[in-house]
Structure 1
Amino acid sequence: MNQVHVQSDPAGRLVISGQPKELDNPWGVTPFKKVVSLPSRIDSHQTSAVVTLHGQLFVRVPYETPDV
């Protein structure tokens, strides 16, 4: 996989997409895009993601904290 992109926006959507380095690869990995609607407003500036050596994707999406 060349890169996995994880983006979030204040409307509460999380977009995960990726493109393999080679389209004809031995693992059968194809380009993908997944959009997930989250139940509440998120803090898009604090969203983070990491891919492990085993190919697991972990995404941290904190909720927006109201100004008091």
Structure 2
Amino acid sequence: MDPNPNVFLNDNDHIAANVHKVTITLQDVAVQLGLSINGEAVTGLGKVPDPWGTYERLLGRVPQNDEEG
């Protein structure tokens, strides 16, 4: 039997598949980051005098120390 290289059993006998295509949605991002996706789109270029205040106003929160980067 020639095993499919994209499907295998891992150490705890669960089937794992090697997936090549994934679509990440805005809802996925919102759930992972805990951000609101309701409201106006944020686009454009410009200098922001108070970026942390702007983040909080637009997103409802600011990054914690371990999220900064």
TM-score, scaled relative to structure 1: 0.21
* Larger strand share, 1 or 2: 1
Pick 1 or 2: higher relative contact order, CA cutoff 8 A, min separation 6.
1
TM-score, scaled relative to structure 2: 0.21
- Radius of gyration: which is bigger? 2
* Larger helix share, 1 or 2: 2
